[in-house]
């Protein structure tokens, strides 16, 4: 297999220049390393339906890192993270922030542990569990998720993990107005941000929710 590091580094640098994100060379190198690991393991572990590395840079890396400026707390849990999305790109962008990465599938958790080892990421903790059953040994400030569940299910399944001063952050495509209207009692939307991801068509939204 040819080494595509230089090619992917150039492509990712070009995408990042079209945003206001500040990303160091070391962070770009880790983000590229993550994509290369997904690509390598995808053949046997079925980590993502996105098959080509160029699309992974946009749909997985850029789509995740645009969330970084909106995370201001110390410890988040990424529920239904799959191979570590958006949690691993965010952990690379925010080395002082801790991310618990939760997925119910063992092979995805094994993959994330190998990523932590190879990319020397000490601010992620991959955990295999169903979110409904998980009890965190540490206080968590926020729960985030992408492509995981309806807002209603996410909140019902995660509410035991987050205290009254914590935040729930859902990453969605088109604004799910019906899900917002049907929010379970005791929760309120505090912020909706339209995210801009260069080259990606279609809406991207970040929805912040708190216990009310
Ligand atoms: C569609 S994938 C999304 C993966 C990733 N968040 C992304 O954006 O690409 C949903 C993931 O949620 C996990 N999952 C489904 N139900 C779960 C549950 N109850 N608790 C924890 N993980 C769950 C699945 O194993 C799968 O990896």
The pLDDT tens digits for 85-109 are 999 999 999 999 999 999 999 999 9
- Confidence class of residue 41 from pLDDT cuts 50, 70 and 90? very high
Nearest CA, atom 11, ligand 1: 80
Report if pTM > 0.90: yes
Nearest CA, atom 7, ligand 1: 85
pLDDT (0 to 100) of residue 108: 97
Task: Answer yes or no: is the C-beta of 15 below 6 A from any ligand 1 atom.
Answer: no
Cα–ligand 1 centroid distance for 209 (angstroms): 20
Which long-range contacts link 23-31 to residues 24+ away (Cβ below 8 Å)?
23/65, 23/93, 27/92, 27/93, 30/92, 30/119, 30/121, 31/61, 31/65, 31/89, 31/92
Say what the ipTM of the complex is: 0.99
pLDDT (0 to 100) of residue 2: 62
Task: Answer yes or no: is the C-beta of 85 below 6 A from any ligand 1 atom.
Answer: yes
Cα–ligand 1 centroid distance for 102 (angstroms): 8
Task: Answer yes or no: is the C-beta of 67 below 6 A from any ligand 1 atom.
Answer: no
CA distance 98 to 75: 5
pLDDT (0 to 100) of residue 198: 86
> Tell me: the pLDDT tens digits for 124-149?
999 999 999 999 999 999 999 999 99
**DSSP letter at 61?**
I
Burial of 112 (0-12, 13-18, 19+ CB in 10 A): buried
Q: Is 175 annotated as a binding residue?
A: no
> Tell me: the pLDDT tens digits for 3-15?
999 999 999 999 9
Q: Cα 115 to chain center, whole Å?
A: 14
pLDDT (0 to 100) of residue 199: 85
| Mutational test site, ligand 1, from 82, 131, 169, max ligand atoms within 8 Å of CB | 82
> Tell me: the pLDDT tens digits for 45-56?
999 999 999 999
Residue with tokens 């201001």, as numbered in its chain: 72
Average pLDDT over the chain, rounded to whole? Answer: 96
Whether residue 188 has pLDDT greater than 90: yes
Q: Are 111 and 178 in contact (CB under 8 A)?
A: no
**Percent of the chain clearing pLDDT 70 (strictly above):** 99
pLDDT (0 to 100) of residue 105: 97
Whether residue 1 has pLDDT greater than 60: no
pLDDT (0 to 100) of residue 82: 97
State the SS3 of 149-208: CCHHHHHHHHHHHEEEEEEEEEEECCCCHHHHHCCCCCEEEEEEEECCCCCCCCCCEEEE
**Count of CB atoms within 10 A of residue 6's CB?**
9
Q: Are 55 and 77 in contact (CB under 8 A)?
A: no
């Amino acid at each position: 297999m040819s080494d595509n590091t230089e090619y992917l580094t150039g492509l990712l640098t070009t995408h990042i220049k079209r945003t206001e994100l500040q990303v160091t060379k070391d962070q770009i190198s880790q983000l590229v390393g993550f994509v290369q690991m997904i690509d390598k393991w995808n053949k046997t572990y079925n980590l993502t339906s996105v098959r080509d590395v160029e699309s992974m840079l946009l749909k997985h890396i850029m789509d995740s890192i645009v969330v970084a400026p909106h995370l201001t707390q110390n410890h988040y849990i990424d529920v239904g993270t799959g191979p570590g999305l958006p949690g691993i790109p965010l952990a690379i962008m925010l080395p002082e922030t801790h991310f618990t990465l939760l997925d119910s599938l063992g092979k995805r958790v094994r993959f994330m542990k190998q990523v932590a080892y190879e990319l020397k990421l000490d601010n992620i903790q991959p955990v295999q569990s169903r979110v409904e059953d998980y009890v965190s040994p540490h206080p968590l400030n926020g729960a985030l998720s992408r492509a995981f569940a309806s807002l209603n299910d996410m909140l019902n399944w995660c509410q035991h993990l987050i205290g009254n001063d914590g935040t729930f952050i859902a990453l969605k495509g088109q604004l799910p107005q019906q899900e917002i209207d049907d929010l379970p009692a005791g929760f309120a939307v505090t912020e909706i941000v339209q995210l801009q991801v260069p080259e990606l068509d279609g809406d991207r939204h970040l929805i912040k929710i708190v216990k009310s």
